[in-house]
Amino acid sequence: MQDENNSDGSVWADSAYRSVEREAALPGAHCRSHIHRKSARKRPLNEREQEANRKQSRVRARVEHVFVQQANRLVRSIGQVRPGVKMSMMNLVYNMRRLVWLAR
């Protein structure tokens, strides 16, 4: 199912998500696959496939680092307003730390 708010039709994923069925279904959903290639026991990846995986890893790492920073931060509260504010503050602090690190 395609999200109407998402203007980019790219799918970025780990090699565990690669399958013949998924690769066949993506063009029908107007999506472009950026899913890592898998090696097999008797067929290692060639140079072209390894380079493609490296390029995709650079993009995926930038996105995944944001989620790693917040992975173990549990917000427990009653209601929705207070946890929303706490998550917003955590995001703000993360962005400020990132800005300081990039400004070095």
- Is residue 37 within 8 Å of 49, Cβ to Cβ? yes
Cβ contacts of residue 14 below 8 Å, gap of 6+? 35, 36
Kind plus residue range of the DSSP H or E element containing 34:
strand 32-35
Per-residue pLDDT tens digits for 32-77 = 888 999 888 889 999 999 999 999 998 888 888 877 777 767 778 8
Length of the chain: 104
- Is residue 35 within 8 Å of 15, Cβ to Cβ? yes
What's the pLDDT at 46?
Answer: 93
pTM here is 0.60
For residue 58, the tally of other CB atoms under 10 A from its CB is 8
